[in-house]
A and B are shown apart, each in its own frame.
Chain A
Amino acid sequence: MLRPLDAFDWRRKKVEYTYRFKEFRYILRQIKRSPLTIVGIGIIMLFFLTVLFAEWIALYPEDYHAVHMESVFQRPCLDHPFGTDDMGRDIFSRVVMGSRISIMVGCVVVFISFAIGVPLGMIAGYAGGKVSEFIMRVADMFMSIPYLLMALAVAAILGPNLRNAMIAISIPWWPIYARLARAQTLTIKNELYVWSAKAIGASEFRIIFKHLLPNCLAPLIVQSSIQFGQAILTAAALGFIGIGAPPPSPEWGLMVSTGRSYMPDKWWLTFFPGMAIFVTTLGFNLFGDGMRDVLDPRLRR
C-alpha cells in the first residue's frame, strides 16, 4: 500500500525526469517525421566532422599551397579521388581543407549580422516611435544595397581578401535580423511578464536582453541556420569573381573559378568544389527549414 506521502514523492520524481525528457522526445519525433531534416542534419554533421578532422581526412594536407608539376590534371583515381588540378594538387584534399574557410565565413558573417541586427531590431521594437522609424529606415537603406556591388566597393577600398569579403557580406545582411527581431519584440513586448519585469524595477537594458531576447530566439536561430548556408554560397560567389579569398587558398568558389578555364574536358576541377558548395548550402537550408517546423509553437500539439 502506498501511503499518501510516498505517493507524493513518487510523483514528484517522475515529474522531474519526464518533463525534460518529454520535450526532447517531442523534438526527436518531430525531426523523425521529416526525412529532409534528417538529410540536412546528416550533411551538417558530415560537414562539421570534416572541419574538425580535416588534416586527417585530407590525403595530402600540404596541398593547401604545394605545387606538384609532375602530377597535373590527373583524372579521379584511387590516389586522387577527386583528381588533381592545374598545379598538381589533390582536389579532394583541397575541398576538405576548404571546409574550414567555409565554416569560418559562415560563422563570422552570421555572427556579425546577428550581433548588429538583433540588438538594433530589439531596440527598435521595444522603443517604438521615432527610434524605431530611424533604425528601420537605416536598415532599409542597407537592404537596398546589392551585396555584390557592396563587395566590389569594399574590395576596391580595402583590397580583395577574405576578411573584407566577409565584412561586405555582413553589411547588407544585418537588416534581415533587425526586421525579424523587431517583429518578434513587437509581439511579445506587451506580455504580462514584461510588465512584471518592469514592476520589479528592471532597467530597459535588462528587459530587452534578459527577458525579450530569450523569448524571440527561436526564429532567429532558424534564420541563422539558413543564413549560414547562404553566407557560404555568397563567399563562394565572391571567390569566383575574384574578390574573395586570394589564389593559393582552397576556397571552394576560387577553385571553381580556376577550373572554369579547363571546362569541359577537365570537369573534375570544377565539379567537386561546386558539389561541396551545393551540398553544404543545401544541408543548412534543409536543417533551417526543419528547425522552423520543430521550433514553431503554432504547430505544437
Chain B
Amino acid sequence: MDRPIIEINELSTYFFTYEGVVKALERVDLMIWPNEIFGLVGETGCGKSVTALSIMKLIPSPPGKIVSGRILLDGEDLMPKNEKEMFRIRGEKIAMIFQDPMTCLNPVKKIGETMSEVILIHLRVSKKEALNIAAKSLEETEMPDPFFVLKQYPHELSGGMRQRVMIATALSLRPKLLIADEPTTALDVTIQAQILRLLKRLNGTFETSILLITHNLGVVAQLCHRVGVMYAGNIVEVGSVEDIFENPMHPYTLGLISAIPKFDENRERLKGIEGYVPNLINPPMGCRFHPRCRFCMEKCRTLKPPCKHGKKGHTVACHLS
C-alpha cells in the first residue's frame, strides 16, 4: 500500500510552565505504514510518550499545546478536529495501551464493564453483544475462559492477564493504529515474551499498525519492522531494524546500541552515554546531542543538522553522515 496510516509532519508540542516553555517535541516527522510495527526508542524524557499523546491529541492542556505541525491519520488531518470528533477517533481508529497494567484498569469495575465500555461508546450494540465482542477479543489474546474473566475484578488478575485485557480492549474495535506505550516494562521477562509474541501475532492477523514505545532495544530488535530513535524532542534517526542495528548512522543510536549489556563480554561497568538528556527549556544550540557527542564538530554547536535521506528510507539528522 502506498498511503501511510499515520503521517506526522513538523510536529511541535510545547509545555508552557512557570519555569519556561518546555519544547517537548520539536519538528518531529514520522510515518507509519499499514501493517507495520514501528519502534520508537530513546532515553526517558526524550518525548516518546508526548509523541504518542500528541497523536491521540490527549496532551494535557494547559500547560501543553501542539503548536504546529500536521498529523494525518489515513490521509485525514487530525489537527483541525475538535474534541467531539476526537472522541470518535480515540478507541475506534487509534487505540492506546499504557505502561503499567496494574493501574490502568479501573479497580471498581469488572473486566467486562471496562472492556464493553469502548464497544458501547463506538458501536450501537446491546450490552450483551458488547460482552460477546469483548469475550471474543479476549479469546484472541489467548486468554483462557474469557467469560469467566469478564466477571472478575482487576485485582483478581495477574499482571500479564491484565495486560492481555488491555490489549484485547484496545484491539476489540480493530483500530488502524495501536499505540503501545512501554507495554512490557512492568512485566517479568517470561510474560514479556508472551505479550510481545501476542502483539506480533495480532499485528499479522488484524493488519493493525503498532507504534511501540520502549527503551528496551531487545524488544525492538525482536518485534519491529522499522525504528525511530528520539533524542531530546527530535527524531534523530529512522530506518529499518537491520539498518539501525547493523549500520547506525547517528552517534546517539550508536551509543544506545553499545550500551546494551552483552553476555559474552566481561566488563565490570556497564557502558553508557556520558551526561544526561538536556533540559528542554533551554535545549543546546545546533544539534541537541552535541554536548554528549563523541564526534562533536564545530558546526554541530551552532547549526541544526538537516535530515538526510539515505537508501531504503534510512533517515539521519547528523552532520557526520
Q: Interface residues, chain A, CB within 8 Å of chain B?
A: 12, 15-16, 19, 129, 191-193, 195-203, 206, 210-211, 214-215
Contact = CB atoms under 8 A, between A and B. Distances in A.
B108 to A, nearest CB: 4
Given A129-B62, A202-B117, A214-B108, A193 B88 contact: no
Given A197-B117, A201-B90, 11 more contacts: A15-B156, A193-B104, A196-B105, A199-B95, A200-B90, A200-B169, A200-B170, A201-B89, A214-B108, A215-B106, A215-B108
A296 to B, nearest CB: 15
Contacts of B148: 12, 16
B92 A199 contact: no
Contacts of A16: 148
B96 A196 contact: yes
Interface string B95-130: 111111001111111000000011001100000000
Nearest to A198: B58
A164 B92 CA distance: 50
Interface residues of B, number: 34
Nearest to B60: A190
Contacts of B56: 198-199
B11 to A, nearest CB: 19
Contacts of A197: 106, 117
Interface string B24-56: 000000000000000000000000000000001
B106 A211 contact: yes
A200 B104 contact: no
Contacts of B105: 193, 196
Contacts of A196: 96-98, 104-105, 166, 169
A200 B121 contact: yes
Contacts of B169: 196, 200
A196 B121 CA distance: 14
A99 B274 CA distance: 75
B156 A19 contact: yes
Q: Which 9 A-B pairs have the closest CB atoms?
A: A200-B91, A201-B91, A201-B90, A192-B104, A200-B118, A199-B96, A193-B106, A192-B103, A214-B108
B87 interface: yes
B107 A193 contact: yes
Most B C-beta atoms less than 10 A away, residue of A193, A201, A211: A201
Contacts of A211: 106, 109
Contacts of A200: 90-91, 95, 117-118, 121, 169-170
Nearest to B156: A19
Contact of B122 (A192, A201, A203): A201
A16 B145 CA distance: 13
A200 B175 CA distance: 11
Contacts of A203: 87
A195 B96 CA distance: 9
Contacts of A202: 87, 91, 117, 121
B208 to A, nearest CB: 15
A272 B34 CA distance: 79
Contacts of A199: 56, 58, 90-91, 95-96, 98
Given A19-B156, A200-B169, A201-B88, A195 B104 contact: yes
Contact of A195 (B86, B98, B170): B98
Nearest to B100: A192
B95 to A, nearest CB: 7
Given A199-B90, A201-B92, A192 B108 contact: no
Contacts of B106: 193, 197, 211, 214-215
Contacts of A12: 145, 148
A214 B153 CA distance: 14
Contacts of B97: 196
Nearest to A194: B106
Contact of A191 (B86, B92, B103, B166): B103
6 contacts: A15-B156, A19-B156, A193-B104, A196-B166, A201-B121, A215-B108
Contacts of A191: 103
Nearest to B96: A199
Contacts of B89: 201
B145 to A, nearest CB: 8
Contacts of B118: 200-201
A219 to B, nearest CB: 14
Most A C-beta atoms less than 10 A away, residue of B62, B97, B109: B109
Interface string B158-192: 00000000100110000000000000000000000
B112 to A, nearest CB: 14
